[in-house]
């Protein structure tokens, strides 16, 4: 048998023996049933160590090309021969897996009417590519990472927050993989184990919290009636959560934004019930005319944990977000991030820094806000023209989505199935509820689609609602 090293100048290894034997078996030079030389013969013939030849035979046995029979030798298996099932004691154990926490990621191919994403046409991909190229200058990122996040990026984020009236320092920022990871590291680092959330609320926060051992309690939110903060106060007194998570602008899924007086009352409830506040500010800078909404963090100061992300405004696949945290929390949050992922993707962090530093983000946000405004107005016009009288919807005034409430008695699940038959996917609205659903409807995403396409989908929805009610 001839075995050649794959890299000239290097010694023959097990991989070379495997490749040579695969070739000989494939070409018929070693026919089924042929007996191979014993390990010690081949090792002497090729001048190899015993382990090398044994490793090559073992791999070919595992691949089903050879059969090693005790005391008889090693034989070529006929390709058509059924393989012996592996001996029971050689089958490795199977780990036991939990049921998936969330449904599979959508594969596309349908019109996603409830999407929270921005139309890819509105995303500055060329300028981002330019920033990635710039980040690769001078040999690209350093070999080591920054567990808390690329320092110039943290400084640039802090500066932007200060411009919006939020006191922030680069040392108080932890860069994360989207705001989802900000929620994750908070949940990992918290000592208390009960978290209060809005009900309905952002649907991927509940499985995250529960999987990390938290008890989750709901605070009912009705976007048509406003917040019943007396009711929240009673629930906080009863359940005694350590943290209250709130999406204060363009709440997902309803589009509701807290008023300044509601934010002030929430700060008072935090003090009264000793419940810390975490504000998920995914959308307050997606508002027309740079008319920023007040934030809990701006009103309540540094004790309010604040998370935000570039996903919805810049590029979902960038996966960059951040937490702005009280100084006492930083060490625990960075340690939680390190134990989970060691560090973030420095190249993306450097590219985002370039994007902010060159002023591209401000230009992009202005253009985006103008486009979103148009789409929002076009969506409202369509709803007014098309929807049956008993349908209601929220008017968020910004952000990517609104909530469409179906006429009482409409079977929402059947309606979804009908719409899917027409190639239009709606999010299951009830998946956002922790307790019994007090709303029945869907999110409508007006940022994701061009107005004409959205109008067609809303037309189909109006027809199906009329048929169903
Ligand atoms: C309210 C809210 N918070 C956080 C997230 C997490 O997003 P990302 O990790 O992409 O920033 C989402 C995603 O849709 C969201 O809707």
Give pLDDT tens digits for 359-400. Answer: 999 999 989 989 999 999 999 999 999 999 999 999 998 889
Ligand 1 pocket, residue 432 CB under 6 Å: no
Cα(218)–Cα(20) distance, integer angstroms:
65
Predicted local distance difference test score (pLDDT) of residue 10:
79
Confidence label for 190 from pLDDT (cuts 50, 70 and 90): very high
Q: Which atom of ligand 1 is nearest to the CA of 280?
A: 3
Give pLDDT tens digits for 94-112. Answer: 999 999 999 888 778 899 9
Overall fold of domain 14-90 = Arc Repressor Mutant, subunit A (1.10.10)
Please, what is the average pLDDT of the chain?
A: 92
- Lay out the sheet containing 35-36: strands in order across: 35-36, 73-76, 66-69
Cα(76)–Cα(27) distance, integer angstroms:
13
- Cα atoms found within 13 Å of the Cα of residue 453, Cβ hemisphere only: 13
Tokens, residue 184: 């994750």
Q: Nearest residue CA, atom 14 of ligand 1?
A: 116
How many angstroms does the Cα of residue 242 sit away from the middle of ligand 1? 22
Taking the CA atoms of the chain, what radius of gyration do you get in angstroms? 30
Predicted local distance difference test score (pLDDT) of residue 318:
94
**CATH of span 120-362:** 3.40.640.10
CB contact at 8 A, 12 and 55: no
CB contact at 8 A, 414 and 341: no
CATH class belonging to 364-468: alpha beta
Helices (H) and strands (E) counted in the chain, each on its own, are 15, 15
Question: What is the pTM (predicted TM-score) of this model?
Answer: 0.85
Domain residue spans of the chain? 14-90, 120-362, 364-468
Tokens, residue 362: 């401000």
> Inter-axis angle of helices 50-62 and 39-46, to 10 degrees?
120
Ligand 1 pocket, residue 178 CB under 6 Å: yes
Q: What angle do CA 333, 334, 335 make, to 5 degrees?
A: 90
Q: Nearest residue CA, atom 15 of ligand 1?
A: 202
Which of 309, 314, 432 gets mutated to test ligand 1 (max ligand atoms within 8 A of its CB)? 309
Which of 282, 306, 307, 431 gets mutated to test ligand 1 (max ligand atoms within 8 A of its CB)? 282
Predicted local distance difference test score (pLDDT) of residue 27:
87
Whole-Å CA distances, 352 to 107, 159, 307: 27, 14, 17
Peptide bond preceding 253: is omega within 30 degrees of 0, i.e. cis? yes
**Mean pLDDT value across residues 247-268:** 96
């Amino acid at each position: 048998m001839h075995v050649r090293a794959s890299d000239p100048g290097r010694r023959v290894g097990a991989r070379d023996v495997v490749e040579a034997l695969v070739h000989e078996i494939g070409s018929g030079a070693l026919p089924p049933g042929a007996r191979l030389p014993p390990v010690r013969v081949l090792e002497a013939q090729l001048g190899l160590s015993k382990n090398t030849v044994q490793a090559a035979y073992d791999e070919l046995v595992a691949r089903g090309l050879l059969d090693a029979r005790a005391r008889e030798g090693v034989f070529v298996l006929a390709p058509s021969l059924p393989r012996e099932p592996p001996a029971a004691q050689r089958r490795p154990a199977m780990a036991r897996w939990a049921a998936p926490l969330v449904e599979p990621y959508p594969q596309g191919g349908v019109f996603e009417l409830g999407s929270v994403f921005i139309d890819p046409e509105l995303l500055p991909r060329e300028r981002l590519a330019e920033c990635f190229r710039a980040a690769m200058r001078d040999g690209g990122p350093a070999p080591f990472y920054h567990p808390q996040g690329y320092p110039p990026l943290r400084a640039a984020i802090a500066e932007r927050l200060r411009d919006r009236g939020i006191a922030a320092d680069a040392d108080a920022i932890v860069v994360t993989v989207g705001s989802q990871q900000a929620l994750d590291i908070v949940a990992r680092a918290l000592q208390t184990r009960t978290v209060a959330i809005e009900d309905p609320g952002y649907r991927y926060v509940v499985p995250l919290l529960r999987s990390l051992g938290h008890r989750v309690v709901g605070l009912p939110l009705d976007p048509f009636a406003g917040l019943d903060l007396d009711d929240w106060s009673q629930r906080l007194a009863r359940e005694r959560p350590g943290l209250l998570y709130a999406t204060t602008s363009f709440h997902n899924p309803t589009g509701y934004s807290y008023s300044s007086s509601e934010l002030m009352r929430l700060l008072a409830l935090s003090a009264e019930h000793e419940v810390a506040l975490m504000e998920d500010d995914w959308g307050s800078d997606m508002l027309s005319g740079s008319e920023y909404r007040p934030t809990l963090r701006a009103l309540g100061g540094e004790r309010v944990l604040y998370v935000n992300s570039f996903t919805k405004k810049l590029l979902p696949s960038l996966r960059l977000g951040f937490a702005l945290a009280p100084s006492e929390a930083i060490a625990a949050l960075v340690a939680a991030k390190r134990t989970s992922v060691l560090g973030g993707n420095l190249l993306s962090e450097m590219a985002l820094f370039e994007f902010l530093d060159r002023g591209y983000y401000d230009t992009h946000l202005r253009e985006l806000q103008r486009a979103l405004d148009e789409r929002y107005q076009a969506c409202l016009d369509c709803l007014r023209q098309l929807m049956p009288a008993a349908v209601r919807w929220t008017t968020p005034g910004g952000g990517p989505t609104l909530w469409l409430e179906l006429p009482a008695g409409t079977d929402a699940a059947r309606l979804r199935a009908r719409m899917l038959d027409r190639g239009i996917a709606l999010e299951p609205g009830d998946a956002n509820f922790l307790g019994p659903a007090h709303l029945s409807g869907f999110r409508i995403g007006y940022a994701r689609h061009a107005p004409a396409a959205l109008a067609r989908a809303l037309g189909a929805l109006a027809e199906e609602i009329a048929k169903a009610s």
